[in-house]
Amino acid sequence: MTLTFTSSAVQNHTHTFQITMTELASPPANGIDRETSQDAGHTHAVALSAGELQAIANGQTITKTTSLVSGHTHQFTFVKS
């Protein structure tokens, strides 16, 4: 199963980012670092540490800012529902 999160809207677009339930149940030692979905012709990088993944799994809310691309960033709020 995969959880899909949607970023804040900036410059009239959003991105999505997915985390698998396996990554939450057993966070990789190095965390995860990958790209968002593509929108408006670009993607952004998002990194979550093993501790942040564990916090999400435990029901805490984690807010992360994406990499800067095309002069802007987005924010993701990760909370397991």
- Give residue limits of the domains in the chain: 2-78
> Strands (DSSP E) along the chain, which ranges?
2-6, 16-20, 32-35, 45-48, 62-65, 75-78
User: CB–CB of 48/57 below 8 Å?
Assistant: no
State residue 81's pLDDT score. Answer: 78
Q: Kindly report, residue by residue over 1-59, the tens digit of the pLDDT.
A: 999 999 999 999 999 999 999 999 999 999 999 999 999 999 999 999 999 999 999 99
